[in-house]
Structure 1
Amino acid sequence: MICVPLLALCMQISNAAEAPPQGNLLIAGGAVRPDNTIIWERLVQLAGGKGARIAVMPSAAGNPERSGTNLVNTLNKFGATAFAVPVAVKLKNSDYQRAAEDETLARSIREAGGVYFAGGDQGLITKALVRPDGSRTAVLQAIWDVYNKGGVIGGSSAGAAIMSSTMYYEARTVLGTLAAGVNDGRELAPGLGFVGTDVFVDQHLLARGRFARMLPAMLKKNYKLGLGIDENTAMVINAKREVEIIGYQGALLLDLTKATTNGDIKEFNLTNARISYLDRGDRYNLATGQYMPSADKVDGKLDPAKPFLNEQVYTADILAHNMVLVMMEKLINNTSNEAIGIATAPPGEAREDLGFEFKLSRDASSVGYESATTDAYTILNVRMDVRPLKITRPWYR
């Protein structure tokens, strides 16, 4: 094992419990396909198995009735007894504030084995479930009761964003976020905090290059650890803080424990951050830092003295789909110890003159594992440094 504003939204949401929650979290990165058997079956299993009651929360959806119905049908197909909870800002002919305090609804949730949050706009979830003073509505407290007693809380996309105590709210583009920074009550707002106060969660990670936008948010709110989950993929976090990756791809783990910034440089910069890629089937303990490889990687630890590649690793668009993972995979099994990725703003951004260099470095603490059955890697503890670049646009523009 390897150790490696809306005034109400700006208020800190209380997530204190008398004892640590005994349940599980299933956090999906968005775009979970209805045929992704492993994710849906695991959700049902964690809720109690075949016939388990699962409350579907369509609060984030643009069309809550349709979203709730579709999710209920999907979960029932995999053996659940699911039901939609009609608490949503955009639900027609409904008073979401009154519904969120309905004790009958709260009781039906409390008697369930799991709760699942649909995707959409995470701000609509907190608006529907959190009182103006920042306290929990009856429905939100019932959801916490499910988690505290051992049930599962799941969510995809927006339903993943609300898992940490801070979430992105009105976010700019990734480049815009790096260029302009983040502020409470605008780009950032309180989440529901199921994962605790020490881990930042983001979604659509590899598909949208969002690993980069996690960095300013983590620095702003003093998070040392961040987990970014990719699309059609989920991470299960149990009461022992063990993370297991399931689904299509994987998750990025960002560690800023030893990272520093240079205050003399106005633009965003970062030195000695650590980035790891956890592949499907891998496990990682957030409390101890212990990594457990998937079964197909147990004997696949790479020998740094026998690299397979001998090439320069460079990209002019590190924020492109999956690109940071492609770079990490090439770097971990290469004679070269460095990889360079550039990020520049598209036309129309406020700071077209500002770009960023991401330097990935393999050192003695970096470790790679290769699957024996598929073309897949786990990459642990790669160093990442970020510095701003002055971008000169063509003279003929």
Structure 2
Amino acid sequence: MKKFFFVLLFALTANAQEHLTTGPENGTLVIVGGGRVVDTITKKYIELAGGIDAPMVVIPTAGGDDIYGEDYYFAERLRAFGVKKVTVVHTYDRAEADTEAFTQPLKDAKAVWFGGGRQWRLVDAYADTKTEQLIWEVLNKGGVIGGSSAGATIQGSYLARGDTQNNQIMMGDHEEGFGFIKNIAIDQHVLARNRQFDMFNILKNRPELLGIGIDESTAVIVKGDQFEVVGASKVLIYDGTFWSREGSQLKNLPSKDNLFYFLQSGDRYDMKSRSVVTD
């Protein structure tokens, strides 16, 4: 009986650990909710990479164009801020994404940026290739991974809006992101497009996930298991609880399955404990 109890306890503990939401052990994530990447966020990304001398790679593949040149807008934006070495990397050919020649710029990169579009294109082109492996190495070596819109959602483990048919299907034919954050679904353009209720389509089927929705021109900066909000608008948290600066004792709240709340610039959140950091 005692042995059964300990086996059961171990299984329950392992299951709980498996469902924790955790960030990267090394490096930093800059996750932007689409729209204009404001100067504050761009400067922070460059700073986290090590400054204007740090080699950076921009991946515009989510956008869907056949060809992208070195004049891709975010590459040009980084150069306008003084970054000296920016390389645009793009292919839809998984075999090419596995080659030494294609992946060479990633070997020295201190930062990688994913552009907007449809996140499933990034999965089709790069998942389980040498390209993805080297992007992980950038992060593991203490570098920074950033992205906006599709480039935000791809950083989570669950790929929200990953259907090839359209971007209104929350649980589609692509459901796995690159997983720089574990046990999370990340949505974008949330308030600008009135998407604030869409996350519940995922969470009613995958209640173990933490859901976050990031509005335009706003980012979360992730270090370890915590993030800080930066930018002009809000981040929505779907963790089955409610938080407010004025408390909630006098509020008439819906059931936990329908709760969400807002964070703003300067607010911090612990994903592992799923709680706002207030100290």
- TM-score, structure 2 as length reference: 0.78
Q: How does 1:310-329 map to 2 (within 5 A)?
A: none
Structure that is richer in helix per residue: 2
Counterparts of 1:286 and 1:115, CA distance in 2: 23
The count of aligned residue pairs is 242
Q: Does 1:108 align with 2:105?
A: yes
CA displacement at 1:73 relative to structure 2 = 1.1
CA displacement at 1:42 relative to structure 2 = 0.6
Q: Which blocks of at least 5 consecutive residues in structure 1 are unaligned?
A: 1-18, 90-95, 131-135, 259-269, 299-397
Deviation per CA, 1:148-195, whole angstroms, max 9, x where unpaired? 121111010010111111212227676xx6xxxx6552xx52111111
Deviation per CA, 1:303-324, whole angstroms, max 9, x where unpaired? xxxxxxxxxxxxxxxxxxxxxx
- TM-score, structure 1 as length reference: 0.56
1:276 is aligned to: 261
Secondary structure of the residue aligned to 2:50 is: coil
1:55 is aligned to: 57
CA displacement at 1:210 relative to structure 2 = 1.6
Counterparts of 2:193 and 2:105, CA distance in 1: 37
Counterparts of 1:75 and 1:195, CA distance in 2: 25
Q: How does 1:191-340 map to 2 (within 5 A)?
A: 191-196=177-182, 198-239=183-224, 241-256=225-240, 271-273=255-257, 274-292=259-277
Given that 2:62 and 2:115 are in contact with CA atoms closer than 8 Å, whether structure 1 keeps it comes out as: yes
1:323 is aligned to: none
Given that 1:50 and 1:80 are in contact with CA atoms closer than 8 Å, whether structure 2 keeps it comes out as: yes
Q: Does 1:97 align with 2:88?
A: no
Counterparts of 1:68 and 1:31, CA distance in 2: 19
Of 114, 133, 140, the residue aligned with 1:148 is 140
CA displacement at 1:106 relative to structure 2 = 2.2
Let me know the Cα RMSD of the aligned residues.
2.6
Counterparts of 1:88 and 1:62, CA distance in 2: 10
1:332 is aligned to: none
Cα pair distance change 1:254/1:194, threshold 3 Å: same
CA displacement at 1:272 relative to structure 2 = 1.7
Q: One-letter code of the match for 1:28?
A: V
1:42 is aligned to: 44
Counterparts of 1:226 and 1:68, CA distance in 2: 34
Q: One-letter code of the match for 1:215?
A: F
Of 3, 6, 26, the residue aligned with 2:30 is 26
Q: One-letter code of the match for 1:102?
A: T
Which structure has more RCO (C-alpha within 8 Å, separation ≥ 6)? 2
2:246 is aligned to: none
Counterparts of 2:71 and 2:219, CA distance in 1: 20
Counterparts of 1:166 and 1:214, CA distance in 2: 12
1:71 is aligned to: 74
Counterparts of 1:272 and 1:208, CA distance in 2: 24
Q: One-letter code of the match for 1:31?
A: G
Counterparts of 1:194 and 1:68, CA distance in 2: 28
Of 109, 112, 117, the residue aligned with 2:114 is 117
CA displacement at 1:21 relative to structure 2 = 3.1
Cα pair distance change 1:148/1:217, threshold 3 Å: same
Cα pair distance change 1:282/1:257, threshold 3 Å: closer
Cα pair distance change 1:285/1:209, threshold 3 Å: same
**Structure with larger Rg:** 1
Deviation per CA, 1:58-89, whole angstroms, max 9, x where unpaired? 11113351586221110122232343343233
Q: Does 1:169 align with 2:162?
A: yes
Given that 1:58 and 1:67 are in contact with CA atoms closer than 8 Å, whether structure 2 keeps it comes out as: no
Cα pair distance change 1:184/1:223, threshold 3 Å: farther
Q: Which blocks of at least 5 consecutive residues in structure 2 are unaligned?
A: 1-22, 243-253
Given that 1:103 and 1:139 are in contact with CA atoms closer than 8 Å, whether structure 2 keeps it comes out as: no
Counterparts of 2:267 and 2:132, CA distance in 1: 31
Counting aligned pairs with the same residue, the percent is 32
Secondary structure of the residue aligned to 1:30 is: coil
Secondary structure of the residue aligned to 2:74 is: helix
Q: One-letter code of the match for 1:243?
A: F
Cα pair distance change 1:173/1:101, threshold 3 Å: closer
CA displacement at 1:199 relative to structure 2 = 1.7
Counterparts of 2:167 and 2:98, CA distance in 1: 36
Given that 1:57 and 1:118 are in contact with CA atoms closer than 8 Å, whether structure 2 keeps it comes out as: yes
CA displacement at 1:206 relative to structure 2 = 0.9
Given that 2:78 and 2:86 are in contact with CA atoms closer than 8 Å, whether structure 1 keeps it comes out as: no
Q: One-letter code of the match for 1:162?
A: I
Structure that is richer in strand per residue: 1
Cα pair distance change 1:280/1:40, threshold 3 Å: same
Counterparts of 1:213 and 1:243, CA distance in 2: 22
CA displacement at 1:226 relative to structure 2 = 0.9
Given that 1:160 and 1:203 are in contact with CA atoms closer than 8 Å, whether structure 2 keeps it comes out as: yes
